[in-house]
Amino acid sequence: MAQMKVFAGRSNIPLAEKICKHLDCHLGEMEIDEFADGEIKPHILENVRGVDVFVVQSTQPPAENLLELLMIIDAMKRASAERITAVIPYYGYARQDRKDEPRVPISAKLIADLLTVAGASRVLALEFHAEQIQGFFNIPVDHLYSAPVLIDYFSKQPTRNLIVVSPDVGRVRRARAFAARLGGVPLAIVDKRRIGKNKVKAVNVIGEVRGRNALIFDDMIDTGGTILDAVSALRKRGAARVMVTATHGVLSNQAAQKLFDSEIEQLVLTDSIDIKPDKLNAKTKILSVAELLATAMHRINRAESVSSLFV
Q: Which residues of the chain have pLDDT under 50?
A: none
SS3 at position 75 = helix
**What total number of domains does the chain contain?**
2
pTM: 0.94
CATH number at residue 26: 3.40.50.2020
pLDDT, residue 208, reads 93
Half-sphere exposure of 115 (CA within 13 A, CB side): 33
Please state, rounded to an integer, the average pLDDT across all residues of the chain: 93
Same domain, 233 and 275: yes
Same domain, 105 and 152: no
Model confidence over 91-110: pLDDT tens digits? 999 988 888 889 999 999 99
Same domain, 8 and 141: yes
Q: State the residue range of the domain holding 212.
A: 147-287
What torsion do the CA atoms of 116, 119, 125, 128 make, to the nearest 10 degrees? Answer: -20
SS3 at position 237 = coil
Nearest to 130 by CA among 87, 165, 173: 173
Model confidence over 263-298: pLDDT tens digits? 999 999 999 999 999 999 999 999 999 999 999 999
Same domain, 191 and 167: yes
Residues whose CB is less than 8 angstroms from the CB of residue 150 and which lie 6 or more positions away in sequence, other chains included: 178, 217, 245, 247, 268, 270, 287
Same domain, 300 and 267: no
Task: List the beta bridge partners of residue 143.
Answer: 125
How far is 254 from 262, CA to CA, in rounded Å?
A: 12
What torsion do the CA atoms of 142, 29, 291, 288 make, to the nearest 10 degrees? Answer: -100
pLDDT, residue 130, reads 87
Catalytic entry in 5, 18, 109, 192: 192
Q: Is 192 a catalytic residue?
A: yes
